[in-house]
């Protein structure tokens, strides 16, 4: 998987609803539902209940963050 492919996929879905799954320590999974809000060169932000949360493209490539487009 290429970082440019990830960026293109996310930028095509700007302002659309997504579910973000973040895989953490001890097999914990945090899920967030929100809207892709802003895109930057190294990260993107999701608007969740009026609060911005940022994620790194690298984490999407490594599988630590998974995106499901709605």
Q: How far apart are CA 66 and CA 36, in angstroms?
A: 13
Cβ atoms of 46 and 36 closer than 8 Å: yes
User: What does the pLDDT look like over 25-58, one tens digit per residue?
Assistant: 888 999 999 999 999 999 999 999 999 999 999 9
Percentage of the chain lying above the pLDDT 70 cut:
100
Task: Please tell me the predicted confidence (pLDDT) of residue 33.
Answer: 96
The band of 15, judged by pLDDT with boundaries at 50, 70 and 90, is very high
Domains in the chain, number: 1
How is residue 56 written in tokens?
Answer: 């790194």
The band of 60, judged by pLDDT with boundaries at 50, 70 and 90, is very high
Task: Please tell me the predicted confidence (pLDDT) of residue 1.
Answer: 72
The CATH number that applies at residue 50 is: 2.30.30.100
Q: How far apart are CA 31 and CA 68, in angstroms?
A: 10
| Residue tagged 């967030």 (tokens) | 32
Q: Print the domain residue range for 22.
A: 3-69
């Amino acid at each position: 998987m290429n970082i440019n492919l990830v960026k293109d996929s996310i930028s095509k879905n700007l302002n659309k609803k997504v579910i973000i799954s973040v895989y953490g320590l001890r097999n914990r999974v945090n899920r967030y539902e929100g809207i892709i809000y802003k895109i930057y060169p190294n990260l993107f932000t999701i608007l969740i209940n009026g609060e911005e949360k940022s994620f790194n493209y690298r984490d999407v490539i490594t599988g630590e963050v998974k995106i499901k487009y709605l």
